[in-house]
Structure 1
Amino acid sequence: MALAANSPADRVEQLIILTERLTELIAYESQAFENRRPQDAAANIEETGRLANLYRHESLRVRAEPALVQSAPVAQRERLIQATKAFDAVLARQARAIEAAKLITEGLVRAIADEVAASRQQASGYGPGATLAGQPASTATAITLNRRA
């Protein structure tokens, strides 16, 4: 998918609209993560993915062929530069929010795993002396079935 621009000014205007919409969507996602409501971010995931792919494609295209935008009015190109700076700032904010959510999730998973391991240590063995005193029980357990017995 690519932009269907009739002129460099048209292309720049479409890039501004695309960048501003993508900035809005990612700002909304960042806010959702910051508010610990990642399910809210999922509502626009398809549109965000589609627009991000289009943005990436068009950015690469303009980088490879600067003539696609060079003859657009300077004021319009400045608006695109400002929109891109705002987009970069929102991406940095989103990266921080996602990193924080990741750390929280990893901490929860680690706490649950530690709790499971601790409960297994207490319950290991079936009779007296099944667990040696002072020796931690293995956190991994295996079950072997012997059909001959």
Structure 2
Amino acid sequence: MAIAAHDAADRVAQLVVLTERLTELMAAQALAFEQHRPQDAAAFVEETSKLANLYRHESARVRADPGLIGGVPAAERTRLVRATEAFDAVLARQARALEAAKFVTEGLVRAIAEEVAAHRERGAAATYGPEGEPTIKRNSAAAKAITLNRRA
């Protein structure tokens, strides 16, 4: 998929629109992660993926052939530069939000793994009944409950 531009000015205008929309989507995703609601970011994944691929493709084309946007008035080129700077800022914001989410997730996984390992070291409180079914001693101090919230 590529931008079908009539001339350099049209290409720059389309790149500005593409960059601004991608910036909006990435900002929404970053906000979802900052608010600890990664499930909300999922709503933007498909469109973001398509636009990011188009952006990558078009920016590579322009880098390889700067003449594609040559002759465009300085004001339009400045508009594209500003849109790109805003996009870069949002990318940095999203990277920080994703890194924080990754840190929290890894901490949770590590804590659960440590609890499971500690439980195994203490010895299982489960015994087996007459039919070979596991039973749990209700008054056992070793019995622990771990609850995972799917929305967290």
What TM-score results when the alignment is normalised by the length of structure 1? 0.82
Alignment of 1:1-149 (within 5 A): 1-123=1-123
Q: Distance in 2 between matches of 1:38 and 1:94?
A: 12
Larger radius of gyration: 1
Residue identity in the other structure for 2:109 = V
Q: Distance in 1 between matches of 2:11 and 2:73?
A: 11
Aligned-pair CA distance for 1:99: 0.1
Residue identity in the other structure for 2:47 = E
Query: Runs in 1 of length 4+ with deviation above 2 angstroms?
Result: none
After superposition, the CA RMSD in angstroms is: 0.6
> Which residues of structure 2 form unaligned runs of 5+?
125-152
Aligned length: 124
Residue identity in the other structure for 1:119 = H
> Which residues of structure 1 form unaligned runs of 5+?
125-149
Q: Distance in 2 between matches of 1:70 and 1:87?
A: 22
Question: Can you list the C-alpha shifts for 1:17-71, whole angstroms capped at 9, x where unaligned?
Answer: 0000000000000000000000000001000000000000000000000000011
Q: Distance in 2 between matches of 1:96 and 1:119?
A: 35
Aligned-pair CA distance for 1:14: 0.1
